[in-house]
Amino acid sequence: MKKQMSSEQETSINHNGNGDGRAEGDLRHDWSAQEVVAVMGLPLTELLYRAQGIHRRHHPENTVQLASLLSIKTGACPEDCKYCPQSAHYAKATGVDREALMDVADVLDKAEQARAAGATRFCMGAAWREVRDGADFDAVLEMVRGVKALGLEACVTLGMLSQDQADRLAEAGLTAYNHNLDTSPEFYGEIISTRTYQDRLDTLARVRQSGVTLCSGGIIGMGESQLDRARMLQVLANLDPHPESIPINALVAVPGTPLADRKQVDAIDMVRMVATARIVMPSSRVRLSAGRHDFSREAQILCFLAGANSIFYGEKLLTTANNDTHEDLALIRDAGLDVEALSGVERSTDSP
């Protein structure tokens, strides 16, 4: 029998506490930093309960999208992002060398392999500060067309873009453009000096204008405060519309980068970040991204409970190791989750 709810319980579920009649889980673009901090600091059980309730209102229950990543152009990036093994500034210490852009045919082979392994989204990353017109960009457009022709969602992350370049990517059929804010506006300068937060927001606006969907999130574990984490989510949540995809990365502390000695992110912090992203951006896909390698199966399941509904799937992220694919499929099967299929959703008990 369905349990009766007390009026107090009903109030906490149906209203956002502002007395403005909006229900919790309605899309909003007016979050204050204090509100986001308060959500993130809720008792964990309450936070998970709220996040899962909102998740079910906006998404199919228990489904996970598998997205595969490929570094199509590795190393020698002129930017100085302190977390990144691909920055030319730390190349001597990281040993990550400059590589040329991959051939279109090789990229499409990898995309086909990812599809055969069960991925429905293929994300191609280039260690560029910005896109330059010419043969390399033309090749990336060809890659996008090829990935789309395989029936996969195509995502690229290429650094800053002009409006014309964003429009050309849209014309090639690109599904999503990944461009992370990474952290709060206040902490940004501690991590990157070669571009500004506003540069990032400008590129996001151009992508939005082109009609390509946005994938934008960030990294925790770089020495930022709870307020910084909340501020990053606040900035994303106050974009209208919200980015369709929110990658939440835990820092992979790569030897040779300035953040090499940062201690590993506590899994509970990751769960809080995922749950808060779910609550403030109810209809977006929350992607459990880098750093998953170091989390237990139980911690990853808590992230799913908190509203994560996608993982990066494949043995490698861009330059660092990702979880073993067989272990990922076993985790999904053991948790009874469904893998999102190319068209619709398919039970994970069948091989994807």
319 interacts with, out of ligand SF4, ligand DTB, ligand SAM, none, CB within 5 to 8 A per kind: ligand DTB
CA angle 120, 207, 106 (to 5 degrees): 45
User: Collapsing DSSP states into helix, strand and coil, what is residue 217?
Assistant: coil
251 interacts with, out of ligand SF4, ligand SAM, ligand DTB, none, CB within 5 to 8 A per kind: ligand SAM
Decide if residue 252 touches ligand SAM (CB under 6 A).
Answer: yes
Least distance from ligand SAM to the Cβ atom of residue 11, Å: 38
User: Rounded CA gap, 127 and 123, in Å?
Assistant: 13
Least distance from ligand SF4 to the Cβ atom of residue 65, Å: 23
| Of 50 and 206, CB closest to ligand SF4 | 206
Per the annotation, the verdict on 208 as an active-site residue is no
Residues β-bridged to residue 220: 250
Residues β-bridged to residue 121: 67, 153
36 interacts with, out of ligand SF4, ligand SAM, ligand DTB, none, CB within 5 to 8 A per kind: none
| Of 123 and 127, CB closest to ligand SF4 | 127
- Looking only at the bridges linking them, the beta strands covering 213-215 and 176-178 are parallel
User: Rounded CA gap, 196 and 158, in Å?
Assistant: 16
User: Is residue 297 classed exposed, middle or buried when 0-12, 13-18 and 19+ CB atoms within 10 A define those classes?
Assistant: middle
Site string for ligand SF4, 71-90 (x = CB under 6 A): ------x-x-x--x-xx---
CB 243 within 8 A of CB 190: no
Q: Contact positions toward ligand DTB, by CB under 6 A? A: 69, 85, 123, 125, 157, 178, 180, 217, 247, 249, 252, 289-290, 317-320
Cα separations in angstroms, 167 against 42, 124, 160, 301: 42, 18, 13, 38
- Looking only at the bridges linking them, the beta strands covering 213-215 and 218-220 are unpaired
CB 265 within 8 A of CB 274: no
Least distance from ligand SAM to the Cβ atom of residue 183, Å: 9
User: Collapsing DSSP states into helix, strand and coil, what is residue 100?
Assistant: coil
Per the annotation, the verdict on 215 as an active-site residue is yes
Least distance from ligand DTB to the Cβ atom of residue 3, Å: 40
Decide if residue 284 touches ligand SF4 (CB under 6 A).
Answer: no
Residues β-bridged to residue 105: none
Decide if residue 274 touches ligand SAM (CB under 6 A).
Answer: no
Q: Segment 87-106, which members bind ligand SAM (CB under 6 A)?
A: none
Least distance from ligand SF4 to the Cβ atom of residue 105, Å: 24
User: Rounded CA gap, 345 and 339, in Å?
Assistant: 6
Among 63, 157, 245, 348, which residue sits at the site for ligand SAM (rule: CB under 6 A)?
Answer: 157
CB hemisphere CA count around 191 (13 angstroms): 25
User: Rounded CA gap, 102 and 214, in Å?
Assistant: 24
Q: Which residues bind ligand SF4 (CB under 6 A)?
A: 77, 79, 81, 84, 86-87, 127, 129, 159
Active site residue ranges? 77, 81, 84, 123, 155, 215, 287
Q: Which residues bind ligand SAM (CB under 6 A)?
A: 77, 83-84, 86, 125, 127-128, 157, 159, 179-180, 182, 219, 249, 251-252, 254, 290, 318
